[in-house]
Structure 1
Amino acid sequence: MTDLFNKLYSQFLNGKTDLKAFRDFKESLNHLPDNELSGRMEAHWNENNDYPVMDASRKQKIRRTLREQINPQNYRSVRWRRLSVAVAVAAVLSVFIWNITLLYERQIPESPFLAEAPVGNKVLLTLPDKSTVKLNSESSLSYTYVKGKRVACLEGEAYFHVSKDREHPFVVQVGDLNIEVLGTSFNVRSYKECDEIETSLVEGSIRLFDSNNPLESFLLKPSQKAIYSKNNRKISFHHTDNVKETAWTQNHLVFESEKLSSVLHKIERWYGVEVELLCPDIANDRISGSFKNEQLPYVMEALKMQYGFSYEITGNNVTINKSNIK
């Protein structure tokens, strides 16, 4: 394990990690106690002379970021006890993004910058160009340069705040949909089980186009949402409430007139659990609600009051029983 960790760790720090190696790196992190991980990281840093000495302000910023990652104020401690892998990876990303940024300043990276938020977790990233991205649960992102453009490939949901760089446009690729910006803030949601890709603009402007028809593009204005159908490749536009669209970034679980089955999928992703609904007759019922920083039992109790079902939480499994439905 020592040799494997050191190899993967070195690859990660030097920006030479592919997706498989990144996942292996996370797995190796999960098998190391906190004190051993800390010692390994410090030893590796001290043994390599390629990394410049950090000044006091940089160290203070890293300490602050680590505290936010490990002891976030907006999350209750019960939920975070399960997040050993995500917290470890987020902490490493927070510390060594400084080194990755320095590498970016010296040369254009040859390999993508990779990040992943496992189910039940969220990860805050600073990209090599100093743009920030918050990944929602069960989401992944790769970032690299392609022909002078900053290109990010997304699966899942993310909130972007892009640093302005007119010489290097920023493009988010979500399947066949391309979202191009110079500097702005926006939210993108595209999970595998959904036919639609939703893009909500908070500030600035973005241009959307299908990779199969790049000459036909659409401009999105603040407080507008674009919905792109993966099946028919059509884009529709709607006015939206940015507070609701980005509520998840403030740890606020919101659903508005959504099918119960969709709400249960959100709960699965949000809390890192699997929900089994044994009463499919209520799956298409529409429900609205919101929860902020609530633990899973509280959310299930609220749904129980609405529908009168019984439920059982066993580890990471939630079973909703139809026997007590009114």
Structure 2
Amino acid sequence: MPRLNMNKERLSYLRLQYLSGNITSADLTELKSLVNNPDLDAGFSDLAEEIWMAPDSDIQPMSADEANDIYLQVTAAAQQKRPVKLWRRLAVAASVILIAGCGLYFLLNKPNAGLKDTPVYAADALPGKVGATLTLANGKQIALGDASKGELAKEAGVMITKQADGKLIYEVAAVDNDHKLNKLTTARGETYQVRLSDGTMVWLNADSKLTYAASLNVNKGPQERRVKLEGEAYFEVTKNKNSPFIVETGGQEVQVLGTHFNINSYADEPLLSTTLLEGSVRVTTAGSAKQAIVLSPGQQALNQQGNVKVVKANLEQVMDWKQGDFYLNHVNFKTAMRKIARWYNVEVVYDASVSDVIEAGGWISRNKKLSEILQSIEATEQVHFKVEGRKIIVFK
């Protein structure tokens, strides 16, 4: 019988090489052999506990409920002889839990690591990129993805420049009360970051539009700082107690003095959501029967045609796009596919066999190709995909 003590140091090395993405094919074969050896299961239980308890920088803190949820997913999948719903975020925890009793399941984090009959699609799509179109007050449009760094234009006494990292910067060059409106638009498959003239930072998700005055409160006076959003954006608002910052969307206004928050106002989503990370905001619905609600950090206002409900926010789920990921754990499958469609600029068509109540699972990077995303989802055996050009057909 193999002795675990002889393999502990080697296994730890191979595990770290695998998680870092630097493992060679020979080492991967050796790792699979060790993990899949039933004679080592008992010893791996002890080793798994040691790794779990050790202060390791590659393990993200999680609650007992989260760990238990992962364990239940894994053990249920092992009993059913089917792949598990483990993507990037779960790989670290799973590589600990799955060392004992579950064989090679944690290696399924990578599409080509141990999967048989990996789906092959007729077409693929690259992930989205940093890019947007800036429309000036005179109608001139600037494709920011193609524009060189440096000064782009001047509007209402404000210099507009593009930095080396692609960020759009508005800087006050001279006081001018002519509030010329600019529009920053991201297409499907684009994201962009802008610093407005008052210092407020805005991250714009794919398929979104932000309309704002170039000289947004350059005098720092008592007037409102008002912008309009279509789609999704995250705001870090510069504090000015005398000048409230107001975000207009199709069905509400969000008013702040200085805070961090996210608004999802896509027209194809059933709910308009406002999520507060820091500070305080007041959400006021549009229409005659106005409803005003003040949010505290960690809360989310869900607005459905003027009816607002406040819930505890899942911040990882809300902020995944800004962090460069898809957080899909316990997310409605069709909601998840709308996120994917916007980022990869594809159309999703559903066969009648696909249920409306399927849940997605896990976490995966938005920097992967579309095929890798679809392969990871197909591994759950809940749905299958056929790709025709920029159309994804989903069937049971």
Give the TM bin, normalised by the shorter chain.
0.5 to 0.7
Deviations 1:79-103 (A, max 9, x none): xxxxxxxxxxxx6xx2xx34xx225
Which residue among 385, 389, 394 is the counterpart of 1:311? 385
- 8 Å contact kept, 1:260–1:282: no
Unaligned runs of 5+ in 1: 1-8, 70-90
Mapped to 1, the partners of 2:292 and 2:382 lie a distance apart of: 48
Mapped to 2, the partners of 1:234 and 1:215 lie a distance apart of: 9
- 8 Å contact kept, 2:187–2:208: yes
- 8 Å contact kept, 1:165–1:183: yes
- Superposition CA RMSD, Å: 3.5
2:177 matches 1:108:
yes
Mapped to 2, the partners of 1:311 and 1:195 lie a distance apart of: 24
**Structure 1 residues 257 and 215: alpha-carbon distance in aligned structure 2, compared to 1, 3 A threshold:** closer
Mapped to 2, the partners of 1:193 and 1:244 lie a distance apart of: 18
Question: How much does 1:199 deviate?
Answer: 0.6
Name the aligned partner's letter for residue 209 of structure 2: S
> SS of 1:307's equivalent?
coil
Matches within 5 A, 1:209-228: 209-212=284-287, 216-228=291-303
Moved more, 136-145 or 277-286: 277-286
Moved more, 141-150 or 110-119: 141-150
Deviations 1:150-182 (A, max 9, x none): 111111111000001122210011123111001
2:321 matches 1:248:
yes
Name the aligned partner's letter for residue 189 of structure 2: G
2:204 matches 1:135:
yes
Moved over 4 A (4+): 213-216
Name the aligned partner's letter for residue 316 of structure 1: R
Task: Give the number of the structure with larger relative contact order, counting CA–CA contacts within 8 Å between residues 6 or more apart.
Answer: 2
Greater fraction of residues in helix: 1
Deviations 1:266-323 (A, max 9, x none): 1101211222333543343222222123321111001222236553445433334x4x
Mapped to 1, the partners of 2:184 and 2:387 lie a distance apart of: 30
Mapped to 2, the partners of 1:217 and 1:132 lie a distance apart of: 25
Mapped to 1, the partners of 2:310 and 2:148 lie a distance apart of: 49
Q: How much identity, in percent, do the aligned residues show?
A: 24
Which residue among 260, 266, 269 is the counterpart of 1:194? 269
Mapped to 2, the partners of 1:177 and 1:112 lie a distance apart of: 20
**Structure 1 residues 109 and 196: alpha-carbon distance in aligned structure 2, compared to 1, 3 A threshold:** farther
Mapped to 2, the partners of 1:218 and 1:182 lie a distance apart of: 15
TM-score scaled by length of structure 2: 0.57
Largest Rg, 1 or 2: 2
Unaligned runs of 5+ in 2: 1-132
- 8 Å contact kept, 1:200–1:224: yes
